[in-house]
Amino acid sequence: MTENPLAHRLDYTLAELDDDALSASPLALLQTWLTDAADLPEPNAMVVSTVDGEGRPTSRTVLLRGVDDDGALWFFTNRDSRKGQALVGNPSVSILFPWYALQRQVIVLGTATPLPAERDDAYFASRPRGSQLSAWASHQSQPVASRAALEEQMAEVSARFGDDAVVPRPPHWGGYRVEPREIEFWQGRPSRLHDRIVFSQDGAAGEWVGMRRQP
């Protein structure tokens, strides 16, 4: 008999996050955890949550595409999309890395700013051609009559660029740099007595300060 998914219960025993982590660099720890997740499906997938001008929160999964020397996280999208429009009025974001197989998650609170055009161009040029064409074909977040209509838009774009060696970046497509102000590391532990280590930036010194939170 199939188990009721609402009754599923798993005790978390894979790892722990001891008090020594409080003195660690959160940016180095995040990089370590990203490396630990490398063999998982979509290890760089992250849920980005925004709030629009009417106070409506939305979340969606995007892919982490870079971490710069200051620890800022990069992702790319259609800036005319729902998330892009929300970020115009409210650049605050929450990012969640859900590494369920490792019984871990990381939450990053920060502020998103557009990446410069040269960064957008460089990353767009590295994308597979099909993904480049999709960026032109899809009016992200807008209604479409049917799957067939969406595929027709793709066919029109493919015909427009034909055998052109280079597909230019759409003007509405680009990246964001999320500068963290708080990073929480969560490690599942037995009996739901989980580990939560949170790092916040000291506004005066600009240094990271760690503390443990109760689960």
Positions annotated as catalytic residues are: 192
Nearest to 183 by CA among 67, 61, 62: 67
Q: Are 97 and 106 in contact (CB under 8 A)?
A: yes
Q: How many Å from the N-terminal Cα to the C-terminal Cα in the chain?
A: 33
Q: Are 174 and 112 in contact (CB under 8 A)?
A: no
Counted residue by residue, the chain has a size of 215
Cross-strand bridge partners of residue 46: 62
Specify the 3-state DSSP secondary structure of 123: helix
H or E element that contains 111: strand 104-114
